[in-house]
């Protein structure tokens, strides 16, 4: 452990002390005279200039003291150096710091001491100017001022000598080297006041020529750089800049020929304590060979960069510990940055979030693992927000002393087009697979909405969209203003509600200039800007705000049969999307046509079936269908004994209605009779027309008593309110004969004969009544 105090900047203090080269040097007359004068002024026994080294105290000058140096641990002066303040000891024998000091306890030892620090540059206390007395005593304030003043004088002398010696040595070295030192005076005008003797070798001009009053230094500078040099020198003189550093050309003569030399110019201003510029010092380096090499290297780099760029390659260097990426300007342009933008990037901020973990793993495989190089494909964010694909190859080129990775360099290759082509081929295969699935599902299910529920989300995923729509033009739509909705994805809450409506046959009213143009002209529209309701709207469906959209017609043999909308993509809609989607568009158009044809076929078959099974006038089943139902119920009764009743009805005096009001009125009476009768019947009951004004009702699972109640409701409903036709009021009643099927009925005719007989009795009794047999 140290046995003496040390200043906080001890290491720097010792470096400066040794750099000054004062230790163990010859005596200096000036310092000797100062110590003698101080001894006499302060009536001391000894005066010393001490320099405190690492473990010793060495005396640069001494009067009245014999030793050249002492150990630092017994030095009074080391305490002054540690505190940086003047120290006074009036009686060392009474001071606990020094009372046991060998230089104190000896005969005629030190009793009184005063020392002032010798301080350079305001913070480095190298030693002291001190006086020693063999008797205790007090020092006056004036004596201490003398001591401190002389200590400051010594410090200034040491510093000035050091700077002068350095300056002289610097000039001597520069004069023999490739750097020419020059000095410009400021007053009365800016002009060279000193030019080193090597100016002719560096600049091509003799110092005497450059120092002439009629020669300005800028006259030898190339005109293209002359004004810039003058402007920057002026900013240095005005104090706007602390230093000047630039390259320029000097025009010179060599063996009678004009030559151009490149000069690297560095200059700083000397200022007084008020900050006023006194002079400008400059250092001029003949950099012609270096500049020529730099220009050639730059040209080679530019050619290399151009070649790399032509192939879509860009260079990068990653400073690993600071996590910054230094990139070529072509790399910046590739990502949309200009030359004026920042040239360092935090690479992790640019990498697509989905690729970051993969990329870090690849880097670790090379930096810490077995991989001999870094090799990866990933996405980088362009300045405008989209992502570009790169193939990056790199290698670690520098590690620090501890083996930690420091720097890695490599090349990016722009593979955006390659990846897009790969993705396009993949999407083509996916589209064809989707087309096949859609065709198969439609053939099986014949449900076009189910087909769209499957296909539309997959098409949206391929195109990176969040809104999708598929609609069909009804065959009767002449103005193209209605669409039958088959598929709808809005990317918002409420899609389920629309799904239910679609199953029920949701139709939307089409409006908007853009969508109408697509439906009427049959041409697709690429909308890269937001789409307003004036351009596209589907009522009553509320669409979310559309930032962009692809509006596509669906064809069958050049006829527009439907519409597809894909909107709000996170990418861009490229024209080749149309060729990608074409197989699906054609398939959907064809399936819509097939769906329409199938609907028309089903409608035609149903119509034929209706005509074959239904009475054309009244809409109830005809005699053949009714008789088939009778046979089914007869067989069912014979097998399971389930009750069934049949009723035969006749409209009373119907011939009179035709004769009085005409056949049109008679037809309307028959239709109204059927309407009123159906209102009183169950779903399972069957009303049929047997011919003319004769009808029959089959009531399955019904006994005769219950059937009578139902028939009475019908009879009363007919009689209760007269029929209306062309302002004519027609009174109508019916007669009903009904009977329940019995086990003893050997054939249907037996059963129906009883019903006829009951009807006959109803008429015989005066009509407008029901009779059971």
What pLDDT digit, counting tens, does each position of 670-698 carry? 999 999 999 999 999 999 999 999 999 99
CA angle 575, 577, 580 (to 5 degrees): 135
Contact 114, 130 (CB under 8 A): yes
Cα of 411 vs its chain's centroid, Å: 23
* Highest mean predicted confidence (pLDDT) among 92-101, 194-203, 341-350, 402-411: 92-101
Whether 311 has a pLDDT exceeding 60, the answer reads no
Nearby residues of 471 by Cβ (< 8 Å), 6 or more positions away: 483, 484, 485, 486, 487, 508, 538, 562, 563
Instruction: For domain 177-286, give the fold.
Output: Beta-Lactamase (3.30.450)
Whether 524 has a pLDDT exceeding 50, the answer reads yes
Whether 652 has a pLDDT exceeding 80, the answer reads yes
> Can you tell me the mean pLDDT for 655-672?
93
Q: Which tops the pLDDT comparison, 314 or 468? A: 468
pLDDT of residue 603: 67
Q: How far is it, in rounded angstroms, from Cα 508 to Cα 498?
A: 11
Whether 699 has a pLDDT exceeding 90, the answer reads yes
- Beginning with the edge strand found earlier in the chain, give each strand of the sheet holding 525-527 in spatial order: 525-527, 549-556, 559-567, 467-472, 482-489, 507-511, 537-539
Alpha-carbon torsion, ordered 682, 688, 689, 695, to 10 deg: -50
Question: Tens digits of per-residue pLDDT, 473-500?
Answer: 887 666 678 888 988 998 776 566 787 7
> Can you tell me the mean pLDDT for 396-408?
87
> Can you tell me the mean pLDDT for 420-431?
78
Whether 454 has a pLDDT exceeding 50, the answer reads yes
pLDDT of residue 453: 85
**Domain with residues 294-412, CATH architecture:** 2-Layer Sandwich (3.30)
Q: What percent of the chain has pLDDT over 70?
A: 91
**Domain with residues 421-600, CATH architecture:** 2-Layer Sandwich (3.30)
pLDDT of residue 38: 95
> Can you tell me the mean pLDDT for 286-299?
70
Least confident of 127-131, 318-322, 457-461, 462-466: 318-322
- Summarize the chain as % helix, strand, coil (round to 5): 45, 30, 30
Residue 1's pLDDT band, with cuts at 50, 70 and 90, is: very low
Q: Could you give the maximum distance between any two Cα atoms of the chain, in Å? A: 174
Question: Tens digits of per-residue pLDDT, 530-553?
Answer: 999 899 999 988 889 999 999 999
Radius of gyration of the chain (CA): 57
Q: How far is it, in rounded angstroms, from Cα 37 to Cα 27?
A: 16
Q: CATH topology of 177-286 equal to that of 421-600?
A: yes
Q: Give the N- to C-terminal CA distance of the chain in Å, as an integer.
A: 137
pLDDT of residue 703: 96
Mean pLDDT, the chain, rounded, equals: 87
Q: Are strands 734-740 and 770-772 parallel, antiparallel or unpaired?
A: parallel
H helices, E strands: number in the chain: 22, 31
Residue 359's pLDDT band, with cuts at 50, 70 and 90, is: confident
DSSP state of 546: B
Q: Could you confirm whether domain 614-772 is CATH 3.30.2310.20?
A: no
Beta-carbon count within 10 A of 633 CB: 23
Q: How far is it, in rounded angstroms, from Cα 578 to Cα 585?
A: 9
Q: Phi first, then psi: give them for residue 709, nearest 5 degrees.
A: -60, -45
Q: Which one is the CATH code of 10-168: 1.10.3720.10, 3.30.450.40, 3.40.30.10, 2.40.370.10?
A: 3.30.450.40
Whether 268 has a pLDDT exceeding 50, the answer reads yes
pLDDT of residue 401: 82
Residue 307's pLDDT band, with cuts at 50, 70 and 90, is: very low
Contact 271, 277 (CB under 8 A): yes
pLDDT of residue 94: 94
pLDDT of residue 582: 87
Q: Is 64 helix (H, G, I), strand (E, B) or coil?
A: coil
Contact 48, 33 (CB under 8 A): no
Contact 143, 20 (CB under 8 A): no
Q: For residue 698, give the nearest of 637, 762, 647 by alpha carbon.
A: 647
Whether 341 has a pLDDT exceeding 90, the answer reads no
pLDDT of residue 312: 63
Residue 137's pLDDT band, with cuts at 50, 70 and 90, is: very high
CA angle 683, 685, 691 (to 5 degrees): 125
> Can you tell me the mean pLDDT for 720-746?
94
Q: How far is it, in rounded angstroms, from Cα 312 to Cα 308?
A: 6
Place of tokens 């190089």: 373
Q: For residue 657, give the nearest of 696, 692, 615 by alpha carbon.
A: 692
DSSP state of 747: S
Q: Are strands 46-52 and 525-527 parallel, antiparallel or unpaired?
A: unpaired
Structural domain spans, the chain: 10-168, 177-286, 294-412, 421-600, 614-772
Q: Which tops the pLDDT comparison, 195 or 58? A: 58
Beta-carbon count within 10 A of 600 CB: 11
Q: What percent of the chain has pLDDT over 90?
A: 49
Cα of 754 vs its chain's centroid, Å: 89
Cα–Cα distances in Å, from 481 out to 471, 519, 524, 725? 12, 9, 17, 40
> Can you tell me the mean pLDDT for 610-634?
89
> Can you tell me the mean pLDDT for 658-675?
94
Residue 363's pLDDT band, with cuts at 50, 70 and 90, is: confident
Residue 96's pLDDT band, with cuts at 50, 70 and 90, is: very high
> Can you tell me the mean pLDDT for 648-668?
93
Residue 140's pLDDT band, with cuts at 50, 70 and 90, is: very high
pLDDT of residue 294: 65
Contact 54, 69 (CB under 8 A): no
Assessment of whether the complete model's pTM goes beyond 0.75 = no
């Amino acid at each position: 452990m140290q046995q003496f105090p040390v200043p906080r900047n001890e290491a720097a203090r010792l470096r400066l002390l040794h750099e000054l080269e004062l230790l163990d040097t010859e005596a200096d007359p000036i310092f000797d005279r100062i110590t003698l004068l101080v001894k006499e002024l302060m009536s001391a026994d000894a005066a010393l200039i001490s320099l405190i080294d690492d473990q010793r105290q060495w005396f640069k000058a001494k009067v009245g003291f014999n030793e050249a140096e002492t150990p630092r641990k017994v030095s009074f002066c080391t305490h002054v150096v540690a505190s940086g303040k003047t120290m006074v000891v009036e009686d060392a024998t009474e001071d606990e710091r020094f009372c046991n000091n060998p230089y104190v306890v000896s005969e005629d030892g030190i009793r009184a001491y005063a020392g002032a620090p010798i301080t350079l540059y305001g913070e480095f206390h190298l030693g002291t100017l001190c006086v020693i007395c063999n008797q205790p005593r007090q020092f006056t304030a004036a004596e201490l001022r003398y001591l401190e003043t002389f200590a400051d004088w010594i410090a200034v002398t040491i510093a000035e000598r050091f700077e002068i010696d350095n300056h002289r040595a610097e000039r001597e070295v520069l004069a023999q080297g490739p750097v020419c030192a020059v000095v410009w005076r400021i007053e009365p005008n800016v002009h060279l006041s000193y030019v080193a003797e090597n100016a002719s070798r560096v600049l091509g001009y003799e110092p005497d020529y450059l120092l002439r009053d009629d020669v300005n230094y800028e006259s030898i500078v190339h005109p293209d750089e002359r004004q810039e040099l003058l402007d920057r020198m002026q900013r240095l003189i005005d104090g706007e800049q602390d230093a000047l550093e630039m390259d320029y050309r000097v025009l010179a003569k060599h063996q009678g020929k004009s030559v151009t030399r490149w000069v690297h110019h560095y200059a700083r201003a000397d200022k007084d304590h008020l900050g006023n510029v006194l002079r400008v010092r400059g250092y001029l380096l003949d950099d012609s060979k270096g500049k020529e090499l730099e220009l050639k290297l730059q040209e080679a780099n530019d050619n290399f960069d151009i070649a790399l760029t032509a192939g879509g390659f860009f260079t990068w260097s990653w400073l690993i510990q600071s996590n910054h990426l230094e990139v070529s300007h072509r790399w910046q342009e590739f990502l949309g940055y200009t030359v004026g933008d920042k040239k360092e990037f935090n690479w992790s901020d640019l990498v697509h979030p989905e690729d970051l973990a993969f990329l870090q793993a690849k880097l670790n495989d090379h930096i810490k693992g077995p991989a001999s190089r870094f090799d990866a494909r990933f996405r980088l964010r362009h300045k405008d927000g989209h992502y570009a694909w790169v193939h990056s190859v790199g290698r670690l080129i520098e590690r620090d002393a501890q083996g930690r990775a420091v720097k890695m360099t490599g090349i990016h290759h722009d593979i955006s087009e390659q990846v897009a082509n790969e993705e396009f081929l993949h999407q083509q295969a996916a589209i064809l697979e989707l087309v096949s699935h859609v065709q198969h599902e439609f053939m099986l299910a014949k449900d076009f909405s189910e087909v769209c529920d499957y296909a539309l989300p997959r098409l949206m995923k391929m195109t990176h969209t969040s809104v999708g729509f598929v609609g069909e033009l009804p065959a009767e739509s002449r103005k193209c203003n209605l669409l039958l909705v088959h598929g709808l994805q809005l990317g918002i809450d409420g899609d389920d509600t629309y799904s239910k409506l679609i199953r029920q046959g949701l139709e939307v009213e089409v409006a908007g200039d853009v969508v109408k143009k697509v439906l009427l002209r049959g041409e697709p529209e690429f909308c890269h800007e937001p789409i307003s309701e004036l351009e596209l709207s589907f009522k009553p469906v509320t669409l979310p705000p559309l930032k962009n959209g692809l509006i596509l017609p669906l064809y069958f043999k050049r006829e527009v049969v439907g519409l597809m909308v894909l909107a709000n993509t996170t990418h861009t809609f490229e024209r080749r999307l149309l060729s990608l989607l074409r197989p699906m568009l054609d398939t959907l158009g064809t399936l819509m046509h097939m769906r329409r044809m199938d609907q028309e076929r089903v409608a035609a078959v149903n119509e034929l079936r209706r005509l074959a099974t239904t009475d054309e006038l009244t809409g109830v089943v005809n005699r053949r269908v009714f008789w088939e139902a009778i046979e089914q119920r007869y067989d069912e009764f014979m097998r399971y004994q389930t009750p069934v009743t049949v009723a035969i009805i006749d409209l009373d005096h119907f011939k009179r209605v035709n004769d009085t009001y005409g056949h049109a009125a008679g037809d309307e009476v028959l239709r109204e009779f059927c309407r009123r009768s159906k209102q009183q019947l169950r779903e399972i009951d069957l009303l049929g027309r047997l011919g003319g004004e004769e009808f029959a009702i089959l009531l399955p699972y019904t006994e005769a008593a219950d059937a009578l109640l139902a028939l009475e409701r019908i009879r009363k409903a007919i009689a209760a309110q007269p029929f209306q036709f062309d302002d004519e009021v027609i009174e109508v009643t019916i007669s009903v004969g009904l009977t329940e099927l019995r086990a003893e009925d050997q054939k249907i005719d037996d059963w129906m004969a009883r019903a006829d007989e009951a009807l006959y009795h109803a008429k015989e009794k005066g009509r407008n009544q029901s009779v059971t047999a």
